[in-house]
Amino acid sequence: MMRVTTSRAVLAGIWFGSFTASVAMVVTLRSTGQLHAEWFWLGLRTLSSAYAPYLVAVGLFYWKHDPAGRQRRSRSATGETLALGSSVMWNGIVLFALVPLLFQRDDIETAIQTISLVGSTLSWLVAASIGYYFVAPAKES
């Protein structure tokens, strides 16, 4: 079990890091001429739609004001494991959909379909685990 501040930072790093890496891949594809403008914008819209609810929730949780002494608190190991595990899985699938594009091993249409599918199909798991983690009371450690 990690301290609240540590687990919040890890969770924020997973989400914001993966989003930044995903956008960077799409921008790289466009800047190298591997992606036409319409697919570039569709790719960015798809990433934005898939990531927006999670980035907002994790961002609000990460940057919220903590009362003094809260750094010594910890959260449920189960909630922490579910939130971190589902976040790594969700973001990993999105990144693995985009990486082959850099090596011209797949097409943007397939990546966009995969990202849309992950966003809609796994949202119940990721949202529930992150929500549980956020609302579970922290305990003194």
Q: How many residues does the chain have?
A: 141
Cα 104 to the center of its chain, rounded Å: 24
For 105, phi then psi, to 5°, come to: -100, -5
Give the pLDDT confidence score for residue 58 in this predicted structure.
92
pLDDT-based confidence at 64, cuts 50/70/90? confident
Residue 40's contacts (CB-CB under 8 Å, 6 or more residues apart) are: 26, 29, 30
Give the pLDDT confidence score for residue 5 in this predicted structure.
74
Kindly report the pTM of this predicted structure.
0.88
